[in-house]
Amino acid sequence: MSLGGTIAAERDPNVARGVTATLAASDLVAGTPQIAEVAEVTTVALRQMPSGDLTFEDLAELATLVSSLYDEGIDGVVVTQGTDTLEETAFALDLLVPTSGALVVSGAMRNPTTPGPDGPANLLGAVRVAATAAARDLGALVVLGDEIHAARFVTKAHATRPHAFASPNAGPLGWLVEDRVRLVTRVKPLVGFTPRPGPAPAVALYRCSLGDDARLIGEIGRLGYDGLVVEGFGGGHVPGRFVAALSELATRVPVLIASRTGAGEVLHDTYGFAGGEIDLAARGLLRVASLDGLKARVALTLALWSDRDHAAQLITSLSEAVAGEC
Ligand code: ASP
């Protein structure tokens, strides 16, 4: 299933400069003839857009389609899309698609008009993984650069180089070499969310930074968001001058505290200052363990969309499951 992105991008004579997503899934498969030796493939062109234009509604539609294909007996699904939001879309699909077949999301960093495009190799690798029985029951996977990542851990860690994806907290689950798929680690599938009818809730993401005078954080509560994720300093801290606005907001909507560092997890019981993790928890903010801000925002959006009354509990159990509570 193709959604657009660099893997599908070419020069369009109607656009003055640069490439745009024009190729469909059938073009991508036709351009990678080795796929025929690996699997019998059916293609669906769903969207042709930059990944920053995708919405949660697009992903819910895609998830429904994937589930119906599993019901029809398809062994695995590959989704190709832009890499800019891939760490978010793959995690959303992880939470939206009930585990059954293998689900692999992939893309490319170099478009087909550049020397050394990585799209065909990534697509072939993604099909190989999707056709592997051992890749089922792992939730959504991300395959790029011959590495297999769990959607819950992966992040885009470089703006341009082909090896752009990494899983800082866990490393990849496996790799591809020649025609072999290697899975050296397994994760348990996560409990899924089923969106209710209607539009996706609006969840804001705010990153803490040095010297912020709190004028924007004070404004967020007046903008009608259904929830907020704060990427705090280090182990999950905010400036003391944020505390009043966040405490007030947390009485109305879920407010999550993540770490802006990109790895590790939010603390529980170490710092006692105003704006530290103990203070924020006492004021009703929810810690999200090792989920980063982007993934916490995906999780909160889907939790609110599925079961607004129990969103806080859903987030807490999901974030503990991702962190691998023993
Ligand atoms: N640079 C992006 C990509 O890798 C563009 C996008 O996300 O659509 O596909």
CATH at 167: 3.40.50.1170
Range of the domain at 161: 6-183
Q: Residue 191 — very low, low, confident or very high, per pLDDT cuts 50/70/90? A: confident
Q: Is 5 in the pocket of ligand 1 (CB under 6 A)?
A: yes
Q: What is the dihedral of CA 144, 191, 234, 218, to 10 degrees?
A: 110
E strands along the chain, which residues?
2-4, 9-11, 19-21, 45-49, 76-80, 102-106, 140-144, 147-150, 155-156, 165-166, 174-177, 180-183, 203-207, 227-232, 255-259, 286-287
* pLDDT of res. 99: 80
Instruction: Tell which of 150, 183, 216 closes a domain.
Output: 183
* pLDDT of res. 192: 87
Q: Is 83 in the pocket of ligand 1 (CB under 6 A)?
A: yes
Q: Are residues 217 and 279 in the same domain?
A: yes
Q: Are residues 48 and 162 in the same domain?
A: yes
Answer yes or no: is pLDDT of 5 > 90.
yes
User: Does residue 271 belong to any structural domain of this protein?
Assistant: yes
Answer yes or no: is pLDDT of 264 > 80.
yes
Q: Are residues 175 and 277 in the same domain?
A: no
* pLDDT of res. 9: 97
Q: Are residues 246 and 281 in the same domain?
A: yes
% residues pLDDT > 70 (the chain): 100
Q: Are residues 210 and 131 in the same domain?
A: no
Three-point CA angle 122, 66, 69, nearest 5° = 110
Closest CA to 19 of 89, 109, 125: 109
Answer yes or no: is pLDDT of 98 > 90.
no
Q: Residue 49 — very low, low, confident or very high, per pLDDT cuts 50/70/90? A: very high
Q: Are residues 174 and 223 in the same domain?
A: no
User: Using CA positions, which residue lies closest to atom 3 of ligand 1?
Assistant: 82
pLDDT digits (tens, 9 = 90+) for 85-95: 999 999 999 99
H-assigned helices in the chain: 25-30, 56-71, 86-96, 119-130, 215-220, 243-250, 277-282, 293-307, 311-323
How many angstroms is it from 152 CA to the middle of ligand 1? 20
88, 105 contact by CB (below 8 A): no
Burial of 26 (0-12, 13-18, 19+ CB in 10 A): middle
Q: Are residues 163 and 253 in the same domain?
A: no
User: Does residue 196 belong to any structural domain of this protein?
Assistant: no
Considering only CA atoms, give the Rg of the chain.
20
Q: Are residues 176 and 128 in the same domain?
A: yes
Report the nearest atom of ligand 1 relative to the CA of 4: 8
Q: Is 82 in the pocket of ligand 1 (CB under 6 A)?
A: yes
pTM assigned to the model: 0.97
Q: Are residues 151 and 278 in the same domain?
A: no
Q: Are residues 176 and 261 in the same domain?
A: no
Q: Are residues 234 and 123 in the same domain?
A: no
Average pLDDT of the residues of the chain = 97
pLDDT digits (tens, 9 = 90+) for 275-325: 999 999 999 999 999 999 999 999 999 999 999 999 999 999 999 999 997
User: Does residue 192 belong to any structural domain of this protein?
Assistant: no
User: Does residue 255 belong to any structural domain of this protein?
Assistant: yes
Give the count of domains, the chain.
Answer: 2
Q: Are residues 178 and 49 in the same domain?
A: yes
How many angstroms is it from 122 CA to the middle of ligand 1? 14
How many angstroms is it from 297 CA to the middle of ligand 1? 20
| Residue 266 belongs to domain with CATH number | 3.40.50.40
Query: What mean pLDDT do residues 145-158 have?
Result: 98
Query: What mean pLDDT do residues 241-247 have?
Result: 98
